[in-house]
């Protein structure tokens, strides 16, 4: 990859094309998540790659190319989001309103959600988040980036990244609790047992 | 459950495997006796699992080609600029040549002089407008292919502005590597150029993006740039921070 970056820096278009091929899916997916419509996502992703091509000459190779590209994409998305001031978010998860007390979610006797429905619900919760929480959670949960990488991309302090991720999760969790019947199937005894097993695997 | 409020961030970090051993131990000890925190962890984990399994996004058709076309168009625009420079130089040379011919009647037929002079004036007028098609001027007959090239390239640039790539593949067939992209109007971000531009902007409150050359500049700084700094391109005036490409130019 470094070899490709060096070649692209010297103006080698074929090398740059390979870099585009390697990163375009992730970058577009990120932009789509952030902009939440295809047209804006395409524009943002395209801007990110063009900015990379224009700025490559001064890209310092001690930084990871993908982190840099992510940052350009996040910037492009932020620009677009600012421009169109996201209109009415379905359910407000405003700061003031919720850090709900963490209460037991009352099990409801409804049918278990299918995987698809569950996914739709979680995505709805994510998309209802204010941008500052949504951004870090997308990078963390959908792109599996580390706190440090997210800090490098968003130029936030590490502490801010951690607290935004935590807060965003609380807000999402509250949304899902309010929506009902999401958690009971995932917090059933079997799932809990499974989670405990996963956790202990992770710890060892 | 106020205890859970305190532990919420630890639980989140625990889920990401980001706690130190000691922090983790403290959290686990707490959770032993706190069912709500255990539930909270389980719920966050469930959300994480579902999100991680969210289906992959398909790239929209034509995305890759569109990006690469624009990359090539940037090169093309750079070439067009170079051609314009060469053409301007050629036009200057033509004027000098015409002047020389006029001053040395021995070397030019008397009848040819007025025509040549008219050609020179033509070129001068074109240059004032920044136009660069010397082939249209009769006196610039030494560079007949140049004007055609310039027009073809200008067409390509025009086309690229309209995002139409119908014939671009042919037009862009010859793309040799180059050292720097200079296509100003195609940059997604504005450029600020001048001497010590980076330092000046930083001293005015711009933020550095580590790695790339970009700076995040407060919009009010862009609105009243100090003398010696020039803004090229457009920016969103409603935004608070503008991503800007600083370009160092010696005074």
Looking at residue B14, its pLDDT comes to 94
Residue in B closest to A143 by C-alpha: B52
Cα separation values, B36 from A62, B13, B32, Å: 44, 17, 10
Question: For position B83, what pLDDT does the model report?
Answer: 63
What is the pLDDT, as a whole number, of residue A29? 94
Tell me how crowded residue A44 is: count the other CB atoms within 10 A of its CB: 27
Interface A-B, measured as beta-carbon pairs within 8 A, has a size of 198
pTM (whole model) above 0.80:
no
Contacts of A127 in chain B (CB under 8 A): none
State the DSSP code for A85.
T
Interface TM-score (ipTM) > 0.90: no
Give the mean pLDDT of A39-66. Answer: 89
Share of chain A above pLDDT 90, in %: 52
CB distance B168 to B156 below 8 Å: yes
A94-138 pLDDT tens trace: 544 444 444 444 444 445 567 778 888 899 999 999 999 999 999
Residue A141 to residue B51, Cβ atoms within 8 A: yes
Q: In what order do the strands lie in the sheet with B230-232?
A: B207-208, B215-218, B241-248, B191-194, B230-232
* Pairwise pLDDT comparison (B182 vs A36), residue with the higher score: A36
Residues of A in contact with B236 (CB under 8 A): 79, 82-83
Residues of chain B positioned with their CB less than 8 A from the CB of A53: 71, 74, 181
Measured between alpha carbons, how far is residue A157 from residues A147, A163, B214, B216 in Å? 10, 10, 19, 16
Q: Is B111 in the A-facing interface, judged by CB distances under 8 Å? A: no
Mean pLDDT in chain A?
81
Report pLDDT for B2. 44
> Which residue is listed with tokens 């991720």?
A165
Beta strands B207-208 and B215-218 are antiparallel
φ, ψ at B194 (rounded to 5°): 155, -175
Residue B71 and residue A28: Cβ atoms within 8 Å?
Answer: no
The overall longest dimension of chain B from CA atoms, in Å, is 110
Contacts of A164 in chain B (CB under 8 A): none
HSE at residue B223, side-chain half, CA atoms within 13 A, is: 9
φ/ψ bin of B17: left (φ > 0), alpha (ψ from -120 to 50), beta (otherwise)? left
In chain A, which residues have their Cβ closer than 8 Å to the Cβ of B206? Answer: none
Inspect the interface and report whether the beta carbons of B67 and A67 lie closer than 8 Å: no
The tens digit of pLDDT for each residue in A175-189 reads 988 887 777 665 555
Nearest to B243 by CA among B226, B219, B211, B210: B219
B129 near A CB under 8 A:
no
pLDDT of residue A161: 97
Q: Do A187 and B71 touch (CB under 8 A)?
A: no
Consecutive sets of 10 residues in chain B, 251 residues long: mean pLDDT of each? Answer: 76 94 93 90 89 81 94 74 66 68 58 47 48 43 47 48 37 39 54 86 79 77 85 78 81 62
Cβ neighbours, 10 Å, residue A155: 15
Which residues in chain B belong to E strands, given as ranges?
191-194, 207-208, 215-218, 230-232, 241-248
Of A58, A118, A173, the CB nearest to B43: A173
Find chain A residues with C-beta within 8 A of B172's C-beta: none
Of B18, B57, B238, the CB nearest to A29: B57
Q: What are phi and psi of B207, to 5 degrees?
A: -110, 145
CB–CB contact B9 A166 (8 Å): yes
| A111: closest CA of chain B, how far (Å) | 17
Lowest pLDDT segment from A74-83, A97-106, A188-197: A97-106
pLDDT for residue B68: 94
Tens digit of each residue's pLDDT (9 = 90 or more) over A9-27: 888 999 999 999 999 999 9
* Residue tagged 């398909």 (tokens): B58
**Mean pLDDT value across residues A80-100:** 57
Write the CB contacts of A176 (distance below 8 Å, at least 6 apart in sequence).
A121, A122, A125, A182, A183, B43, B47
The answer to whether A45 and A73 have CB atoms below 8 angstroms apart is yes
User: How far are the Cα atoms of A88, B141, B181, B224 from residue B151, in angstroms, in the given order?
Assistant: 48, 16, 20, 37
Best of A50, A65, A203 to substitute, by most chain B Cβ atoms within 10 angstroms, is A50
Question: Residue A26: its pLDDT value, please?
Answer: 93
What gap in Å lies between CA A131 and CA A56, rounded to an integer? 28
């Amino acid at each position: 990859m470094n070899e490709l970056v060096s070649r692209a820096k010297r103006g080698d278009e074929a090398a740059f094309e390979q870099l585009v091929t390697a990163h375009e899916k992730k970058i577009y997916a990120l932009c789509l998540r952030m902009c939440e419509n295809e047209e804006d996502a395409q524009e943002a992703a395209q801007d990110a790659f063009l900015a990379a091509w224009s700025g490559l000459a001064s890209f310092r190779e001690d930084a990871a190319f993908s982190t840099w590209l992510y940052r350009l994409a996040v910037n492009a998305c932020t620009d677009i989001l600012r421009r169109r001031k996201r209109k009415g978010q379905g359910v407000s998860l405003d700061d003031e309103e919720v850090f709900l007390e963490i209460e037991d979610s009352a099990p409801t006797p409804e049918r278990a959600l299918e995987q698809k429905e569950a996914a739709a619900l979680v995505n709805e919760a994510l998309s209802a988040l204010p941008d500052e929480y949504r951004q870090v959670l997308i990078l963390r949960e959908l792109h599996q980036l580390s706190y440090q990488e997210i800090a490098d991309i968003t130029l936030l302090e590490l502490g801010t990244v951690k607290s935004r991720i935590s807060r965003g999760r609380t807000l999402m969790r509250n949304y899902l609790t309010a929506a009902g019947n999401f958690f009971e199937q995932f917090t059933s005894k079997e799932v809990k047992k499974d989670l405990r097993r996963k956790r202990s695997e992770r710890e060892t | 459950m106020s205890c859970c409020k305190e532990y919420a961030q630890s639980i989140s970090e625990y889920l990401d495997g980001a706690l130190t051993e000691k922090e983790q131990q403290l959290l686990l000890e707490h959770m032993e006796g706190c069912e709500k925190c255990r539930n909270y962890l389980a719920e966050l984990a469930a959300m994480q699992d579902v999100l991680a399994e969210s289906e992959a996004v398909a790239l929209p058709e034509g995305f890759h080609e569109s990006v690469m076309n624009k990359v090539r168009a940037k090169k093309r625009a750079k070439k067009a600029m170079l051609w314009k420079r060469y053409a301007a130089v050629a036009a200057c040379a033509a004027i000098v040549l015409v002047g020389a011919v006029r001053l040395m009647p021995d070397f030019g037929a008397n009848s040819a002089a007025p025509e040549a002079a008219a050609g020179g004036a033509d070129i001068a007028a074109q240059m004032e407008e920044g136009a660069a098609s010397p082939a249209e001027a009769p006196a610039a007959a030494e560079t007949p292919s140049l004007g055609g090239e310039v027009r073809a390239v200008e067409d390509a640039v025009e086309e690229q502005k309209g995002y139409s790539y119908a014939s671009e593949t042919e037009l862009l067939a010859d793309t040799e590597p180059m050292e720097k992209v200079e296509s100003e109007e195609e940059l997604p971000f504005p450029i600020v150029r001048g001497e010590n531009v980076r330092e000046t902007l930083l001293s005015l409150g711009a933020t550095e993006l580590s790695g790339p050359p970009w700076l995040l500049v407060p919009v009010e700084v862009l609105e009243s740039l100090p003398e010696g700094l020039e803004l090229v391109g457009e920016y969103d005036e409603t935004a608070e921070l503008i991503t800007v490409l600083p370009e160092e130019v010696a005074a």
